[in-house]
Homo-oligomer: A and B are copies of this chain.
Amino acid sequence: MIQPFDDTYFMKKALQEAQMAFDKGEVPVGAVVVLKDQIIARAHNLTETLNDVTAHAEMQAFTAAADFLGGKYLKECTLYVTLEPCQMCAGASYWTQIGKIVYGAPEPQRGFVNLNTKLHPKTKVVSGVLGDECSKLLKKFFIEKRNLN
């Protein structure tokens, strides 16, 4: 059976968001929040534009999803994000009680996995979905940035 709405499908949507960040000169990270195969929030990193280190894609996506639902908790939702969440974003996910986190590229230094950030016990994690594409966009950003400086 064909499943058009799989993890790859939604990660592509998160990658589109990451590309929007890239085009603005932001570290290219994008995220979508999905509920029952529907995207209820889209966001990309805006730390430079908003001059705010808390404006990671995931933080904005959580806020937007809760706003859409009219409830603080995202128990039935899945977060798709192109880069492994940091401590702040993983810590925020704990409070949302989100059902699932799917991320693309790993972040061994500042990601929640190696830093052992505690997720909500009901949150499942899937990693590496379109990981190469997600990494490639990030690498392209940092190479271009280095060449400009």
A residues at B contact (CB < 8 Å): 47, 51-54, 59, 62-63, 66-67, 70-73, 86-92, 94-96, 115-118
Contacts and interface: CB of A to CB of B under 8 A. Distances in A.
Given A47-B72, A116-B116, A117-B117, A54 B90 contact: no
Contact of A52 (B47, B54, B67, B116): B67
A10 to B, nearest CB: 22
A54 B118 CA distance: 16
A87 to B, nearest CB: 3
A85 B62 CA distance: 19
Contacts of A89: 88, 91
Nearest to A47: B72
Contacts of A96: 53
Given A54-B63, A91-B91, 19 more contacts: A51-B71, A52-B62, A52-B67, A52-B72, A53-B62, A53-B66, A53-B73, A53-B92, A54-B95, A86-B94, A87-B87, A87-B88, A88-B89, A88-B91, A88-B94, A88-B95, A89-B91, A115-B117, A115-B118
A6 B63 CA distance: 35
